[in-house]
Chain A
Amino acid sequence: TQLLEQSPQFLSIQEGENLTVYCNSSSVFSSLQWYRQEPGEGPVLLVTVVTGGEVKKLKRLTFQFGDARKDSSLHITAAQPGDTGLYLCAGARDYKLSFGAGTTVTVRA
């Protein structure tokens, strides 16, 4: 059983559309990290959120950490084909990093 549940599992959208990926858990985390993984490569860190209610923006990507530090969301505005990839959330707890199963995002040109 995954400690972190990500939804949706797959997302296919047209270039220019917006999308949101969710990461939920019943556990509280010290921090939450978001990674993107492209085929044939390892995951690359996008952002780390630490404080409950925190919102971080990275160009067209907006990350939010839930008030109770149990959930997070990633919102992409005006998606581009370069945003295509596997998006993974990872929660830090008990000195371990637990990953969600990931959301595969495909942005069609």
Chain B
Amino acid sequence: KAGVTQTPRYLIKTRGQQVTLSCSPISGHRSVSWYQQTPGQGLQFLFEYFSETQRNKGNFPGRFSGRQFSNSRSEMNVSTLELGDSALYLCASSLAGPYNEQFFGPGTRLTVL
């Protein structure tokens, strides 16, 4: 069974730009969660989608948004990038939600200059 894939793996942007990250979950998984990982803060929960609906959201500004498609693939968008947005963005899929085992992708390393 193919694992969670994330594209792109690396991204360099400048302040003020916007970025879209993509996540393809494991086949059959309907829940997709997004996390931001930084050395100082660890993994911070961004949001979780299940069957195209956002079920939960973390404490991030409105510049961070996401969506999920009917095939469970998910995208995350960050607008008006700031230097502090530089991080590893991880996507995790599961059968039913955060209480189940999370299968993580390798992440997208975003650098904002």
- Chain A residues at the B interface, C-beta cutoff of 8 Å: 2, 30-31, 33, 35, 40-45, 48, 88, 90, 92, 94-102
The answer to whether A95 and B42 touch (CB under 8 A), given A42-B92, A44-B104, is no
Q: DSSP class of A's interface residues: helix, strand, loop or mixed? A: strand
15 other contacts beyond A35-B102, A95-B98, with CB at 8 A cut-off? A33-B102, A35-B104, A40-B106, A42-B92, A42-B107, A43-B43, A45-B101, A90-B102, A95-B55, A96-B45, A96-B48, A97-B99, A97-B102, A98-B45, A101-B42
Contacts between the two chains (Cβ within 8 Å), count? 63
Most buried by B among A35, A43, A94: A43
Chain B residues numbered 24-62 whose CB sits less than 8 Å from any CB in chain A: 33, 35, 40-45, 48, 55-56, 58
User: Contact at B106–A48, with CB atoms within 8 Å?
Assistant: no
Assess whether B4 is interfacial by the CB under 8 Å rule. yes
Chain A residues with CB below 8 A from B97, complex form: 95
Chain B residues with CB below 8 A from A95, complex form: 48, 55-56, 97-99
Most buried by B among A2, A33, A90, A96: A96
Interface size class of B (residues with CB under 8 A): 20 to 34
The answer to whether A101 and B99 touch (CB under 8 A), given A40-B106, A96-B48, A96-B58, is no
B45 to chain A, nearest CB (A): 6
Cβ proximity bits B99-113 to A, threshold 8 Å, 1 near / 0 not? 101111111000000
